[in-house]
Structure 1
Amino acid sequence: MELDGATTHGDPAEREIDLRRDALLATLGILVVRVTRRRLLASPAEVRSETLAILASRRSHP
């Protein structure tokens, strides 16, 4: 899980770096899930639920 915000992805160069890193991690079977700070603070239970669902899904599909 990565906590992101507009300060990070407001810059196209920074976004490109993240996308390249995500692609590399995906080749290793690592999924990067981004959540904004605002969303995490506003809806922590929803973010937690989604995170657990992602983990459960990945455990059932090796």
Structure 2
Amino acid sequence: MPAFHRQARVRVGRRTMYLDLFAERERVNIELDGATTHGDPREREIDLRRDARLATVGILVVRFAHRRLVHEPDQVRRETLAIVTRRSAPTG
């Protein structure tokens, strides 16, 4: 598993964003979505726009719901490892 930076500060254009868990070399941001606020459609739209903005600079955003973090921590860990492994593999 790579080193993740918590609350990593990233600038995209004029905006500064803070990423929950950022693997810089792999350009993967793991967002840990809270149990309550992310059920709101307005919050979801804000998240989607933010994710799209990060994609413009090559950052993949992966979101895990609070429920999964609590009830399926090993599966979340395996999925995260698979994603960052694939992102760090050479292409070509």
TM-score, normalization: structure 2?
A: 0.60
Shift of 1:8: 2.5
Structure ranking higher in helix proportion = 1
Alignment of 1:1-62 (within 5 A): 1-5=30-34, 7-61=36-90
Unaligned runs of 5+ in 1: none
Unaligned runs of 5+ in 2: 1-29
- Distance in 1 (alpha carbons) for counterparts of 2:39 and 2:78: 27
TM-score, normalization: structure 1?
A: 0.85
Aligned residues: 62
- Distance in 1 (alpha carbons) for counterparts of 2:59 and 2:37: 21
Secondary structure class of the residue paired with 1:2: strand
Q: Deviations over 1:19-39 (max 9, x none)?
A: 000000011111111111111
Structure ranking higher in strand proportion = 2
Q: CA RMSD in A?
A: 1.6
Shift of 1:52: 0.4
Q: Alignment identity in percent?
A: 68
